[in-house]
Structure 1
Amino acid sequence: MPVERLLPDRESADLLALATELARDELKPHAAAYEETERFPREQFRTLGKSGLLGLPYPERWGGGELPYEVYLQVLEEIAAAWMSVGVGLSVHTMSCFALVNHGTEEQRDRWLPEMLEGDLLGAYALSEPHAGSDAGALSTRARLDGDQYVVNGTKAWITHGGRADFYTTTVRTGPNAMSCLLIDRATPGMEAGPPERKMGLTGSTTSQLIFSDARVDADRLIGAEGAGLRIALSSLDSGRLGIAACAVGLAQAALDEAVEYAKGRSQFGKPIIEFQGLEFLLADMAAAVDSARATYLDAARRRDRGMSFRRQASVAKLVATDAAMKVTTDAVQVLGGAGYTRDFPVERYLREAKVPQIFEGTNQIQRMVIARELKNR
C-alpha cells in the first residue's frame, strides 16, 4: 500500500515518485530470482546511478542531488521495500562516500566524487576486522608510509560489496595510537577479496573479507589528516545507521503489505481472516511498529539536516527500526501460516533478511551503549 509522506517540497515529492516507480518496475521483479541464485545486482546499481539516486544527500557540484537527509532516507526506504539487498547496498555506498565528501581536499573531491556519485563507481566501507567488530579501537590492519605510498597489511572482514566494489573507504592503523582513512582502489596490487560469506539472507549482496599483503596505496589517497581515521569512521557510522534504519523500515513495510493482502484474500469459516480480531490486532501492532520506527529515523534525519547533534537519535532509530523489522517480518510469516514458511511467498525471505540489520553498523547492544553514554554526558 502507498505510504503517505510529508515531504518538504514538490521537487522531493517528484523524486520520491521516480524512486517508487523505479523500485516497482526495475527492482522488485528481479529480487527473488537474484536472491535465490546469489547474483550480485551490479546493473541495478548502475540504473540507480543513471537515475541520480546514488548521491542524493551530497553536493550538486560533484554530481549529487544536494537533498536533505530526510528525503534521501525516504527514497532509500522505498528501494529497500522493493529489494533489501539493493537498499542496503545504496546505504553502504552513500556511507562510503561520506569521508571524501566531508574530509577530503577539493582536489580529491574533484578527482573521485563525480564518478562515485553518478554511478560509475560503487563503494564499500572497510572498518571491521575478524577480531575487531564492535571494538573499532582494536583494529590491527596497518599502513606504513614508504616514500609517497602506504604499505598496507592486514585483513578486513564483513565487507559489503567485498570484491565487487570499485573503491574501499578503509580505516587503518598508521601508528600505535593513530588510525587513518585511505580511499583504496579495487585494482590495488596486494589487495584481494576472500570468498563470499555464506549468509542466511541478503544473498544477492556479496560480503567478504579483504586481505592486504604489502598492498601499496598512494599517499594522496589519505582522506583527512593522518590520525583522524577513527573520528571519521564514527561520524560516518552515525549517518550510516540512519540508512540502515530506513532500510529496515522499508523491509517491515513490505512484510506488512504482504500480510495485509494475504489476510484480505484468505477466507476461513466463511469470511476473510483479516476480519478475525486476533489477526486484526496482530496487523495493527505491525502497522504501529512500522509507523513508530519511521518516525524515529525521520526525527534523527531532521536534526541532522538542521546541523544539530543526532548521534543518540541515530542509535535510537537504528535500534528501534531493526528490532521492529525483526518483529514485523516474524509476524508476517505467522499471518500467512504454512504458506509463509514456503518460498512461494516473499515473507520467509523478508524474515531472513531482517536479522542482519540488528547486527551490522554496530549491533543493537552497541546502540544501547551509545544511547546510555549520550544520556550520561548530557
Structure 2
Amino acid sequence: MDFILGERDKMVQAAAKEYAQKAVLPLAAEIDRTAEFPLELAREMGAMGYYGLAYPAECGGTGGGYLAYALVVEQISRASMTAGAIVAVSILSAESIYRFGTDRQKRDFLVPLASGEMLGCFCFTEPATGSDPRAIATRAVWQGDGYVIEGQKNFIALSPAADIATVFAKDEDGKVSAYIVPASAPGFVLREPCETLGLRGLGASVVYLDGVRVPRENLLGSPGSGYETLLEAISVERVGVSAQGVGVSQAALDLSVEYAKQRCAYGRPIAEMPTIQWLLAEMVSRMEAGRWLAYRTASLRDQGLDIRNESSVAKLYCSQMAVEVTRMAMQVHGSYGTMKSMPVERLYRDAKMTEVYVGVSEIQRAIIARHLLRQ
C-alpha cells in the first residue's frame, strides 16, 4: 500500500492549487454573495480539462484517473467550495454515459462533456424524494418513435448552464430508466433557483419536464436500469464531496493558523494558548484522516473496484469532519469568525452542505450498515 502520490498526481495537484489561488479565490466571496452561477469560471475549468480527469483520451478526457479528480476538487474547494462542487458534480452525467452509454452516446455526449465543450446536469431529486427511486413521480411514456417525459425535478445543480441532462423517470412498467435529454428540448423548463445555506452559486434550481420528447437512442442503458446507473454515478460523486470536505477544512485550518499567530490577547498571540493549540491540533488530525480516506476511495475506483460502500464511508466521515473543523475554526476566530466579511463564515456554511447533498448522512449510515450486515 503506497501513500505517496506519484509524480503525475503531484503535478496535477500543484497546478490545481496554483490555479485555485490565482483564478478562483478572488471570485469566491462574490460568487457566495450574489449566488449567481459563475458561467465564465465553469467554462474555464472545462477548458482546463477538469471535467474529464477520470476518463481516457478517446472519451475526451485527460486520463488522469479518479484520484486526480479528487485532488483537483480538493484544491479548487480550498478556494471556493462552489467552484469545487461544479467540478465534482460534473462527473455525474459523464460517469453515467461512460459506464452505460452506447458508442454513439459516448461520441455525441461523453466526449464534449469530458472535454469541457458541454456541461451536464443530473436530474434525479424530486419534491418527494432525494434517495428512494420508488417515490419518483416523473414519467416517461412511449409515444410514436420515442419517449415523452413529464415531471418535476428539484435542487438540480449546474442546470442554468447545462447543455444536456441525465433524467430519471419511471416507464409504463413502473421501472426507473435514465434518459439523455438536451436542455434545449421543448418542454425542458428551468424554473426558480433553490436558495441554500451554502454552496451558493452552484445553480441548484427547479426543473420542469413538460412533455419533453426523447428519441429511443437517448435511453441510457437498458430499460429499467436507471437505479443501477444512479448508484454507480453517485458513488463517484461521493468521492468528490469527500474531497470538498477536505478542501474546505484545509482552508479553515490555514485561516485559523494565520489568525492565531496574529491575534493577541493578554499580551501574547493566542497561538501560544493551550486551548487554541488543542483546537488546531484537533482540526489537522481529523482533516488528515479524511484526506487519506478520500484518496483511498478514489484509488480503489482507479483499480476498477466497486466503491459504493467505501464512498459512503468517506462521505459520511469527511462531511462530519468538515462541519467540525470549520466549527473549530469559528471558535479560533471568535466573534470575528461570524462576520460576513470574514471567509470562515462562508466556509462554515459550505461545510454543512456536504452533510446534506448527494445523500444525507443518515442515508450514508443506512448504506454502510446494510453492507456490513450482508457480510
TM-score by length of 2: 0.97
Would the aligned equivalents of 2:35 and 2:202 in 1 still touch at CA under 8 Å?
Answer: yes
Deviates most, 62-71 or 354-363: 62-71
Match of 1:288 in 2: 285
Pick from 159, 169, 174: which aligns with 1:172? 169
One-letter identity of the residue aligned with 1:366: I
Match of 1:189 in 2: 186
Would the aligned equivalents of 2:148 and 2:212 in 1 still touch at CA under 8 Å?
Answer: yes
Match of 1:372 in 2: 369
Would the aligned equivalents of 1:125 and 1:169 in 2 still touch at CA under 8 Å?
Answer: yes
Q: Write out aligned runs for 1:92-171 (5 A).
A: 92-171=89-168
Would the aligned equivalents of 1:143 and 1:152 in 2 still touch at CA under 8 Å?
Answer: yes
Pick from 70, 74, 78: which aligns with 2:75? 78
Pick from 211, 215, 221: which aligns with 1:214? 211
Match of 2:61 in 1: 64
One-letter identity of the residue aligned with 2:348: L
One-letter identity of the residue aligned with 2:251: A
Once the two structures are TM-superposed, the CA of residue 344 in structure 1 deviates from its matched residue by 2.2
Match of 1:35 in 2: 32
Name stretches of at least 5 consecutive residues in structure 2 with no aligned partner. Answer: none
SS at match of 1:194: strand
Would the aligned equivalents of 2:37 and 2:160 in 1 still touch at CA under 8 Å?
Answer: no
Once the two structures are TM-superposed, the CA of residue 132 in structure 1 deviates from its matched residue by 1.3
One-letter identity of the residue aligned with 2:350: E
Determine whether 1:224 maps to 2:221.
yes
Match of 2:316 in 1: 319
1:103-141 CA-partner distances (Å, limit 9, x unpaired): 111111111222211212111111111001122221110
One-letter identity of the residue aligned with 2:243: A
Q: Write out aligned runs for 1:258-277 (5 A).
A: 258-277=255-274
Once the two structures are TM-superposed, the CA of residue 81 in structure 1 deviates from its matched residue by 0.9
Would the aligned equivalents of 1:54 and 1:118 in 2 still touch at CA under 8 Å?
Answer: yes
The number of aligned residues is 374
Deviates most, 285-294 or 308-317: 308-317
One-letter identity of the residue aligned with 1:329: T
Once the two structures are TM-superposed, the CA of residue 82 in structure 1 deviates from its matched residue by 0.9
Counterparts in 2 of 1:306 and 1:62: CA distance versus 1, 3 Å: closer
Deviates most, 295-304 or 312-321: 295-304
Pick from 348, 354, 359: which aligns with 1:357? 354
Q: Write out aligned runs for 1:243-254 (5 A).
A: 243-254=240-251
Once the two structures are TM-superposed, the CA of residue 302 in structure 1 deviates from its matched residue by 2.0
SS at match of 1:57: coil
Determine whether 1:338 maps to 2:335.
yes
1:188-214 CA-partner distances (Å, limit 9, x unpaired): 101101210122222111111111111
Determine whether 1:202 maps to 2:199.
yes
Would the aligned equivalents of 2:73 and 2:84 in 1 still touch at CA under 8 Å?
Answer: yes
Once the two structures are TM-superposed, the CA of residue 6 in structure 1 deviates from its matched residue by 5.5
Determine whether 1:19 maps to 2:33.
no
Would the aligned equivalents of 2:133 and 2:176 in 1 still touch at CA under 8 Å?
Answer: no
Determine whether 1:54 maps to 2:67.
no
* Distance in structure 2 (CA, Å) of the matches to 1:193 and 1:249: 32
Q: CA RMSD in A?
A: 1.4
Once the two structures are TM-superposed, the CA of residue 307 in structure 1 deviates from its matched residue by 2.4
SS at match of 1:155: strand
Counterparts in 2 of 1:273 and 1:8: CA distance versus 1, 3 Å: closer
Once the two structures are TM-superposed, the CA of residue 288 in structure 1 deviates from its matched residue by 0.8
Once the two structures are TM-superposed, the CA of residue 9 in structure 1 deviates from its matched residue by 2.8
Would the aligned equivalents of 1:122 and 1:165 in 2 still touch at CA under 8 Å?
Answer: yes
One-letter identity of the residue aligned with 1:364: S
One-letter identity of the residue aligned with 2:175: A
> Quick one: percent identity of the two aligned structures?
34
Once the two structures are TM-superposed, the CA of residue 277 in structure 1 deviates from its matched residue by 0.2
Name stretches of at least 5 consecutive residues in structure 1 with no aligned partner. Answer: none
Deviates most, 26-35 or 133-142: 133-142
* Distance in structure 2 (CA, Å) of the matches to 1:102 and 1:311: 15
SS at match of 1:321: helix
Once the two structures are TM-superposed, the CA of residue 291 in structure 1 deviates from its matched residue by 0.6
* Distance in structure 2 (CA, Å) of the matches to 1:129 and 1:277: 48
1:127-164 CA-partner distances (Å, limit 9, x unpaired): 11100112222111001111222100011111112232
Deviates most, 214-223 or 251-260: 214-223
* Distance in structure 2 (CA, Å) of the matches to 1:136 and 1:57: 27
One-letter identity of the residue aligned with 2:69: Y
Determine whether 1:90 maps to 2:87.
yes
Once the two structures are TM-superposed, the CA of residue 308 in structure 1 deviates from its matched residue by 2.7
* Distance in structure 2 (CA, Å) of the matches to 1:347 and 1:214: 45
One-letter identity of the residue aligned with 1:232: T
Deviates most, 253-262 or 108-117: 108-117
One-letter identity of the residue aligned with 2:19: L
